[in-house]
Amino acid sequence: MTENHERRPDEFSLELQLIANEMRHDIITMLEAAGSGHPGGSLSCADIMSVLWFGGVMNYDQTTPKSDGRDVFILSKGHVAPALYTAYHKLSWVKGDELLTLRKLGSRLQGHPDSTKLEPVEVCTGSLGQGLAIANGVALGFKLDAQKTQEAPRKAFCLLGDGEMQEGSNWEAIMFAAHKKLDNLVAIVDINGLQIDGPVDEVCSLGDLRAKFEAFGWHVENADGHNVDELLRAFDAVSAVEGRPSVILCESVKGKGVSFMENQVGWHGNAPSAEQAAQAIAELDAERDRLTAELEEVRHGN
Amino acid sequence: MATRATREAFGETLIELVEEGLDIVAVDADLAGSTTLAKFGAAYPERMFDVGIAEQDMIGVASGLSLTGKTAFTSSFAVFGTGRCYDQIRNTVADSKLNVKICPTHAGVTVGEDGASHQMLEDITLMRVLPNMQVLVPADYQAAKTAVRLAATTDGPVYVRLGRHKVPEVYTDGFEGGLPYAHVIREGSDVSLCACGVEVSHALAAAELLEKKGISAEVIDVFSVKPLDEEVILTSVAKTGHVVTCEEHMVWGGMGSAIAELLAAKLPTPQAFVGMSSFGVSANGDLLLEHFGLDATGIALKAEELLAR
């Protein structure tokens, strides 16, 4: 975080956007090589993942997976494993060539995150509706540790999808987190509006998610899931909350960054062909060049 | 003879383990009084969490606690503590090999008057089929103390099946050593009665009945259903040539099936299954054991039929 404060804010946000762009590039490359997987939700959460991992939000040692004293990240929407792997790639915890082994026999990069195969992964996820309860336990455990050390408790972060909020188990976890006043727990919901069978509002509407979380006793922030400045502000706001857990509701676009995938329910769980991947990469490269030029101008311009 | 329920060993053994320096926490789902975790909670309130009537959250919270380095025990009644949260146990606990110990109470038909909804008869099967999960079914209070200790000191997921029904003392003390563990309690030469949990004392009584009819029965307490103590079981069955498996559980997929799998592969042997093949009903627990042929008389009858085949 210290390093970041020395930069101009617009420079920092452009860097985070470039990281998200790089993640999207990796996601497309991986999924094309795998021939299966989930591009839509991986792309929709890339900006959130960029801010979480590289925006100074989570406390961890970038040189070592599972470093002592780290904050813990639980990917409840485990099907977007590629998005997690690209963060690990950016940290050099996974090498570039290894990304191409996604979903292949013998790979550490399982279709859904597997902590027994890939060290940085905290816990196996993939069955929806399980991550938040796990994050509850992590936050509770950190509070218990903090009672002994008298230090501020470490934090648990949990990324969920909006379709996943239909799982009743999440509401058990939401109730318990508020009851236990887990102010070291931050949930992020990536609200891309689509699930396998169609728009969330048509399959089974979540209603007013903000009102629901508030009624359960949570602190709620809203953010544009593709605006890194809004995301940074939201994470900053929740870090000051005491006595209750926080959630950041992020409105996003499923398939964000690839024109033909955006808002298309069919891209939930289908990998792009070589041709489609090439088009996606071309679009992402153009966006990268635009962001790079902008960054150059911010750094060296007037 | 003194009778005690296996659940009575649960909360108090956890207290001993914390006193001995183990970093143990427990999570219950509104049944702490019944599971005896309330006792643990009274001794160590900061280590005890009650999530309310939310078994899925119970397993998730325990999983998260284990990620912070603690050995996490969960409870509830066996029907809710395994069935309601099976997906969490499968996908989070077992797949991730977490240090979470699933120790629900009120297993089996001996729960009695509450009836079928509360009589868990499939838990051994559900837990046994999960990779990385070990399954312990203690026969009495002392064996339950040992089971809880072994769960705490064995790395990874462990299931301990505990009951509410008061059972006669089989062991005067706990036992040392690791897993697998099966124990020949009574030696015999004509038939091996392999029993677990509540059924161990009934198998012992059945051996007495059989002796009066000139049949020599060997009784084995199959304490660890997974891993199975193959050596003890195969040695006994090689000697007797007949096996009756006795469990307060469905005959499909439980301890009897585990032994059938072992024998089919290594020592094909005529086998009879004492167990349940329907949901239970409301009545006194002892009466239900008799009603469903799970008592000494029922076991002896199955053994005689097997030997007459």
**Contact yes or no for B60 and A137 at CB 8 A:** yes
B156 and B118, same domain (yes or no): yes
Integer Cα distance of A17 and B117 in angstroms: 54
Q: Give chain A's domain count.
A: 1
Residue span of the structural domain in which B236 resides: 183-308
Distance from CA of B225 to the nearest CA of A (A): 25
pLDDT of residue A301: 78
Measured between beta carbons, the chain B residues lying within 8 angstroms of A142 are 68
B208 and B121, same domain (yes or no): no
Measured between beta carbons, the chain B residues lying within 8 angstroms of A114 are 95
Half-sphere exposure of A105 (CA within 13 A, CB side): 0
- Stated pTM of the model: 0.96
**Contact yes or no for A141 and B64 at CB 8 A:** yes
Q: Which amino acid makes up residue B146?
A: T
In this structure, is residue B173 part of a structural domain? no
B117 and B208, same domain (yes or no): no
Residue span of the structural domain in which A186 resides: 2-300
Chain B residues whose C-beta is within 8 A of a chain A C-beta are 25, 27, 46-47, 49, 51-52, 54, 56-57, 59-70, 72, 87-88, 90-92, 95-98
pLDDT of residue A6: 57
B146 and B64, same domain (yes or no): yes
Pairing, β B100-102 against β B134-136: unpaired
CATH of the domain at B140: 3.40.50.970
The residues, any chain, with a CB within 8 Å of residue A234's CB and separated by 6 or more, are A221, A222, A223, A248, A250
In this structure, is residue B61 part of a structural domain? yes
Q: What does the pLDDT look like over A131-169, one tens digit per residue?
A: 999 999 999 999 999 999 999 999 999 999 999 999 999
Query: Do B252 and B155 meet the contact criterion of CB atoms below 8 Å apart?
Result: no
Dmax over CA atoms of chain A, in Å, equals: 57
Spell out where A1-134 has E strands. 72-75
B293: DSSP letter: T
Last residue of one domain, picked from the residues B144, B168, B192: B168
Query: Do A183 and A213 meet the contact criterion of CB atoms below 8 Å apart?
Result: no
Q: What are phi and psi of B230, to 5 degrees?
A: -60, -40
Active site residues of B: 55
pLDDT of residue A7: 65
Nearest residue of chain A to residue B53 (CA atoms): A172
User: For residue A116, what are its two tokens?
Assistant: 């027994």
Integer Cα distance of A231 and A211 in angstroms: 20
Q: What angle do CA A71, A55, A282 make, to 5 degrees?
A: 125
Q: What does the pLDDT look like over A166-198, one tens digit per residue?
A: 999 999 999 999 999 999 999 999 999 999 999
Q: Split chain A (302 residues) into runs of 10 and give each run's mean pLDDT.
A: 58 97 98 97 98 98 96 98 98 96 98 98 98 98 95 97 98 98 98 97 98 98 98 97 98 98 96 98 98 94 67
In this structure, is residue B177 part of a structural domain? no
CATH of the domain at A202: 3.40.50.970
B17 and B134, same domain (yes or no): yes
The pLDDT profile of chain B, 309 residues, written as one tens digit per residue, is 789 999 999 999 999 999 999 999 999 999 999 999 999 999 999 999 999 999 999 999 999 999 999 999 999 999 999 999 999 999 999 999 999 999 999 999 999 999 999 999 999 999 999 999 999 999 999 999 999 999 999 999 999 999 999 999 999 998 888 999 999 999 999 999 999 999 999 999 999 999 999 999 999 999 999 999 999 999 999 999 999 999 999 999 999 999 999 999 999 999 999 999 999 999 999 999 999 999 999 999 999 999 999
B113 and B252, same domain (yes or no): no
Q: Which amino acid makes up residue A179?
A: H
B210 and B121, same domain (yes or no): no
B30 and B147, same domain (yes or no): yes
For residue A172, the SS3 value is helix
Q: Give chain B's domain count.
A: 2
CATH of the domain at B224: 3.40.50.920
In this structure, is residue B39 part of a structural domain? yes
**Contact yes or no for B25 and A173 at CB 8 A:** no
Distance from CA of B33 to the nearest CA of A (A): 20
B105 and B157, same domain (yes or no): yes
Last residue of one domain, picked from the residues B106, B140, B168: B168
Nearest residue of chain A to residue B84 (CA atoms): A169
pLDDT of residue A3: 47
**Contact yes or no for A126 and B91 at CB 8 A:** yes
Measured between beta carbons, the chain B residues lying within 8 angstroms of A178 are none
B25 and B113, same domain (yes or no): yes
B137 and B271, same domain (yes or no): no
Q: What does the pLDDT look like over B216-261, one tens digit per residue?
A: 999 999 999 999 999 999 999 999 999 999 999 999 999 999 999 9
Please report where in the chains the tokens 């563990």 appear, as a residue.
B181
Please report where in the chains the tokens 């999983």 appear, as a residue.
B63
In this structure, is residue B70 part of a structural domain? yes
User: For residue B49, what are its two tokens?
Assistant: 């969490």
In this structure, is residue B38 part of a structural domain? yes
Query: Do A252 and A179 meet the contact criterion of CB atoms below 8 Å apart?
Result: no
Q: What is the ipTM of this complex?
A: 0.95
B114 and B246, same domain (yes or no): no
Measured between beta carbons, the chain B residues lying within 8 angstroms of A140 are 49, 61, 64-65
Integer Cα distance of B158 and B135 in angstroms: 6
